[in-house]
Copies of this chain bind each other. A is one copy, B any other.
Amino acid sequence: MKKKLSIVDIANSLNISKTTVSFILNGRAQEKRISEELVQRVLKFVDEVGYKANSLAKSLRTGKSNIIGLMVEDISNPFFASIARLIEDRAYKNGYKIIYCSTDNDTKKTQELIEMFRDRHVDGYIMAPPEGIEEDITSLIKDGMPVVLFDRHLPKVNTDYIEIDNLFSTYNATRHLVEQGYKNIAFVTFSSQQSQMKARLEGYKKALKENSLKPVVKEILFNQNEEFIIGPITSFLKKHKDLDAVFFGTNHVGTCGLKVINSLSIKVPSDLAVISFDDYDVFKLFSPPVTAIAQPVEEIADNVITVLLNKLNSPLQHQKLQSIILKTELTIRGSSRMQAAAQL
């Protein structure tokens, strides 16, 4: 077990001061007028012995950590997992590491996580914020920390965010159902005051209103345990026999919804048409495949990291804030075609 070399070891070996070594390794040789000859000697030696600076010590002194804190709702949710994956990749390429955590939409847990990130001196924050976290984020921003929100934003918090056009997405998808001739369309979603969930609900309602149809909304409490999602959906679907279509507000609700549909032996789309927010393998492979609103995952991740890197690289506080709203794509599949229903 060879002990790691420190900058002092390097300095001693070369009979120079550690300051000189530090300057050279940080590319400040020119600025500090260190002779080219010495620079080369140091670089060569450092390379030979494989010295790497202790980043803890570095962070302690400089206050910078080259770490970005990423907080998603649940890392095991495919939407967040793929976003996290893409952000991770791009961050690495730019010399940043990612620490990520799941908030579970739990305000208290999120506060603790922010505390931990702050404590670990992360350089910037990327979050899909839960409700009730406004103050904590504001205080973060006031302390000069770059914060980028995604998936949702906090109306009271003044910072950059990347979102999709939730209202239009559900509005458009609902209209698609209406155009197909469906008249009793339910919207099943998590009970939430978050911007994206409110917008999705609104979009649905707007489309129905324009067509003089009656909204039927079922709100479910967010819960880690699937049973507590499947249960309410089951009784909801059992109760509303007159529905001819159902719109699931998130991929998680959608997946649980499909399980319920299977267990009740409901035929899609003849008994019930289905649309879900978010797209992923489950919806592609269900029979018939489920029409879904696909979020531009790469684009979201790209924008998030780009905005954050910009903030990190320009210490100016007075750059103006960005609110980026991306478009989704309605991927129409067999689960919502009235024709298909007609065929049976």
List residues of chain A with CB under 8 Å of any chain B CB: 1, 52, 54-57, 59-60, 65, 74-76, 78, 81-82, 84-85, 88, 97-102, 115-116, 119-121, 142-144, 255, 258-259, 262, 281-282, 284-287, 289
Closest 10 CB pairs between A and B?
A287-B287, A76-B81, A76-B85, A56-B60, A76-B82, A81-B81, A1-B143, A281-B282, A55-B119, A99-B99
Give the docked Cα–Cα distance between A82 and B81 (Å).
Answer: 10
Question: Distance (Å) between the CB of A8 and the closest chain B CB?
Answer: 14
Give the docked Cα–Cα distance between A115 and B284 (Å).
Answer: 39
Contact B97 A99 (CB under 8 A): yes
> CB-CB < 8 A to A119: which residues of B?
52, 54-55
Give the docked Cα–Cα distance between A54 and B56 (Å).
Answer: 11
Give the docked Cα–Cα distance between A81 and B143 (Å).
Answer: 33
Question: Distance (Å) between the CB of A110 and the closest chain B CB?
Answer: 13
> CB-CB < 8 A to A258: which residues of B?
285
> CB-CB < 8 A to A121: which residues of B?
56
Give 20 CB contacts A-B under 8 Å: A1-B144, A52-B115, A52-B119, A54-B60, A56-B59, A56-B120, A56-B121, A57-B60, A75-B81, A75-B85, A76-B81, A81-B81, A99-B99, A100-B100, A259-B285, A262-B285, A282-B285, A285-B286, A286-B286, A287-B287
> CB-CB < 8 A to A65: which residues of B?
56
Give the docked Cα–Cα distance between A100 and B100 (Å).
Answer: 7
> CB-CB < 8 A to A82: which residues of B?
76
Question: Distance (Å) between the CB of A256 and the closest chain B CB?
Answer: 9
> CB-CB < 8 A to A98: which residues of B?
101
> CB-CB < 8 A to A281: which residues of B?
255, 282
Contact B78 A74 (CB under 8 A): no
> CB-CB < 8 A to A259: which residues of B?
284-285
Give the docked Cα–Cα distance between A282 and B78 (Å).
Answer: 12
> CB-CB < 8 A to A76: which residues of B?
78, 81-82, 84-85
> CB-CB < 8 A to A142: which residues of B?
1
Give the docked Cα–Cα distance between A285 and B101 (Å).
Answer: 28
> CB-CB < 8 A to A262: which residues of B?
285, 289
> CB-CB < 8 A to A144: which residues of B?
1
Give the docked Cα–Cα distance between A120 and B97 (Å).
Answer: 11
Question: Distance (Å) between the CB of A5 and the closest chain B CB?
Answer: 13
Question: Distance (Å) between the CB of A71 and the closest chain B CB?
Answer: 12
